[in-house]
Every structure is written in structure tokens, then in C-alpha cells.
Structure 1
Amino acid sequence: MKTGLCTIAFRDRPFEAVLDLAVEAGFDGVEPWGKPDHTPDPFDADIVKRAAEAVQSRGLEVAQYGSYANPTDEGFDQQLSDAIEIADIYGTDMIRVWVGNCGSADAEEDQWNQAIEGFKTFCDRASDRGKVLVVEMHGNRLSDTVDGCMRLIEGVDRGNFRMNFQPMYTESPDQALDAAQAISPYVSTVHAQNYVQTGSNQRALIAEGLIDYRTLIGIFRTIRFDGYLEVE
């Protein structure tokens, strides 16, 4: 298991300043935030190449590219193409993606179908370039529950379609650990977050929040997880 820093955690700082923080803290790698000012919009290959050089020059890896490609968005084809190109430049085979525009309980069948068919296309094109899609578990998305994630996994049915586990503030500590246990065989990346209390998005230090990360990490060690645990 390696440790990483999601640069979105310091979105108000220049990208290279965040890289310096990652080095100082002893992280193995970073997840570049897929929005300005850490990633140009529209896509600019020269700017991304300079960012990749900045990462490499500091001895860091790119754990995954934190894209916002979402098969239910307009312009998904362009998002797809840009994400693959950016991941190539960064030298990572992992692309974080999002899914849907509402929670799984509120999604109509058409949105599920659009998401699943879009991810099939994305996975097939990404596979040709050696890339893996990693769907972030996130509130108010189709991936906000284990059941929602499993519906996506089973529907897409591609070997390069994986999950980015992230505990959610709407869950109790026990629920978060149960979710980690259930989804762990499909997880390629873990986002480490912690909270002051259930139902509140007020963040706590990883070691001081409600979720016991020693137990959480133990769940992933049991399955010999060798991906990135990233502080977000």
C-alpha cells in the first residue's frame, strides 16, 4: 500500500506548491485535481506536460488522474478523450471518474442505462491505452451506496472498471467499515477522509475523526491491497 495526496485538498494553492507539501510530508504520489488551476480547462497538452515534469522532478508518482469525466454529462466524449490523454502524459494508468447527477435512490432507469453504456464505451477505449477507470464512491451520485456500486460493476462488466472507496459523512463509522468490507474486492484506490460527527461534512484529522483508520486499513490489508491510500 502506498500513500498519496489529492491536490484538491489544497485547491487554493499553486500545483507545484502542493507537490512540495507532498514531498515534505513523505507521500509516495499525488492525484492531480482535474479542474483549474491544477488542470487547464480546456485541455492544454503543454501545460499538463509541465505539470507532469514537476511531479517527476520531485520523485513523486501520479497515483491516478482525478478527472470529472461523467457519462451522464453533456460533452462526455470530449471528457473521455481528454482524460485518457492527460493520464498518458502523467504516466498513470488510473483515471478517477464520476457518475450521475443525483443519488442512486433518486435516479431514473434512463440515467442508470446512460451511465452503464457510457462506461462500457469509456472502458473499451481506455483499455486500448492500458487505462483503468476508477469510480469514486461519493454522496449524491449513482455510486453513493454499495448496492449502487455493484449495479454499476455488474452492468459495465469490464475488467478495467474499478472503484475508489471513500467513506461518507452520512454513514456511521460501522456503516463505513461495512461498506469498505463489502466493496474491497473491487477497489483500486482509497480516499482517506474523516469527520467530526455522522451527518456533518465537517472534516477531522484522519487520526482524530469518527472512523478508525487502523481498522479500515486492516480491511484492505486482508485482501493484499497494493494501491494508493490518498489523503483528500
Structure 2
Amino acid sequence: AYLDTAVKLGAPCVRIWAGRTASAQADDDFFQRAVAETRRCCELAAKVGIDVAFEYHRKSLTDNGASAVKLLKAVNRSHCKTYWQPNPELTVEENSRELEAILPWLTRVHVFSWLPDNTRLPLAAQEAAWKHWLTFIPREIPLILEFVKEDQPEQFRQDMVALQKWLSHSVCL
């Protein structure tokens, strides 16, 4: 049903979760089941020309670069990709290393500004970090703006203006 819907919508990619267990707590059996299930998803998606991409998220098998790469390599399907988003609990440098690790599989990026306690900020509050990360992200990778402060439409517009400004200047970086 998900793939039928994706085909009808013309979606090029279906996002999936790599479980709800942190990579540090996942045993080998859990990992192997995730690999098998992802391969099955990939086989079904390939038949209709759609990629499968993991959500890159805390408390999953894609909660860090090393674990995400391990999973992506184990699945070993060309149309199995991953999203990326910064982990607000990590430093800019640590997030940069995470991003660099998964770059060969990167398909989408979630753009937002959070504190470690998940408090939402205006995107401009993390301008230096995002300008840095944008130097790693290939221009053809779609950026998805989400989780704006207080879910306010005006904040979304301000965040979009900031992101567009950074992107227009990034060609000069």
C-alpha cells in the first residue's frame, strides 16, 4: 500500500525507520532482522523504481554515522539511502563527522535548529553550524525545513529566508 501510494504521488523515495532501538542496545539478531527487512523493502521498491531511505535519528540503528554505515553496507542495495539531520546532543564537529560518514548514501537532509533538550530555535540561531554543514552537502540533495520554533508560519518564512540566503552564498565558499 505504501509503495502504491508513492507511485501514485510520483514520490522518488520512501523513508523508513531503522527500528526504535538505539544502535548501542541492539543485538546482532535485531540488526540482522533489520537488514533482512530492509532488503525486502528494497526489492519491492526497486520493482517500481523507488528508492528506500532510512530516517537518520536517535534511538535507531541510524543514530550515528558508524552504525548507519554498518547497516547501509550490510543491506548493500544501490537504491538504499539515508536521510541526515544533526543530532542536537553533538557538537558541530561531531555532527560533521557523522555527515561525512554517510555522504555516499545521502539522499535528503532535515534542516532545523534545536538545543540538546529539543528546544526549538530560529534557524538563524545555528547559522555558523548550518553554513559549515552546507559545505559538505551536495547541491543536488534536497533540504527539508522542519520543526520551526513554536510551529509558527512566520518563523517558517524567516527560517526559509535564512536558508535561501546561506545557499545563495554557499557557491562562494
Do they fold alike, i.e. is TM over 0.5? yes
Cα offset, 1:87, TM superposition = 0.9
Q: Secondary structure at the match of 1:106?
A: coil
Which of 50, 67, 85 is the aligned partner of 1:131? 50
Q: Secondary structure at the match of 1:227?
A: coil
Structure 2 residue aligned with 1:161: 80
Cα offset, 1:209, TM superposition = 2.6
Q: Secondary structure at the match of 1:220?
A: coil
Q: In 2, distance between residues paired with 1:211 and 1:111? A: 38
Cα offset, 1:164, TM superposition = 0.2
Structure 1 residue aligned with 2:134: 217
Which of 156, 178, 188 is the aligned partner of 2:97? 178
* Paired residue total: 146
Structure 2 residue aligned with 1:227: 141
User: Any gaps of 5 or more consecutive residues in structure 1?
Assistant: 1-81
Decide whether the 8 Å contact of 2:51 with 2:79 is kept in 1: yes
- Residue type at the aligned position of 2:140: D
- Residue type at the aligned position of 2:129: D
Cα offset, 1:215, TM superposition = 1.3
Decide whether the 8 Å contact of 1:194 with 1:211 is kept in 2: no
Which of 88, 107, 123 is the aligned partner of 1:206? 123
- TM-score normalised according to structure 2 size: 0.79
Q: Secondary structure at the match of 2:81?
A: strand
User: Any gaps of 5 or more consecutive residues in structure 2?
Assistant: 147-173
Q: In 2, distance between residues paired with 1:86 and 1:105? A: 34
Cα offset, 1:211, TM superposition = 5.8
Distance 1:211 1:98, change over 3 A: farther
- Residue type at the aligned position of 2:145: V
- Residue type at the aligned position of 2:108: T
Cα-to-partner distance string for 1:140-172 (whole Å, 9 max, x where unaligned): 011001111011111100011001011111211
Cα offset, 1:102, TM superposition = 1.1
- Residue type at the aligned position of 1:209: Q
Q: In 2, distance between residues paired with 1:206 and 1:179? A: 20
Q: In 1, distance between residues paired with 2:128 and 2:99? A: 12
Structure 2 residue aligned with 1:140: 59
Cα offset, 1:115, TM superposition = 0.4
Distance 1:203 1:211, change over 3 A: farther
Structure 2 residue aligned with 1:109: 28
Decide whether the 8 Å contact of 1:162 with 1:187 is kept in 2: yes
Q: In 1, distance between residues paired with 2:5 and 2:120? A: 30
Q: In 1, distance between residues paired with 2:60 and 2:112? A: 18
The alignment-based identity, stated in percent, is: 22
How much is the aligned-residue C-alpha RMSD, in angstroms? Answer: 1.4
- Residue type at the aligned position of 2:96: L
Decide whether the 8 Å contact of 2:84 with 2:110 is kept in 1: yes
- Residue type at the aligned position of 2:118: N
Cα offset, 1:210, TM superposition = 7.2
Decide whether the 8 Å contact of 1:165 with 1:180 is kept in 2: yes
Cα offset, 1:120, TM superposition = 0.6
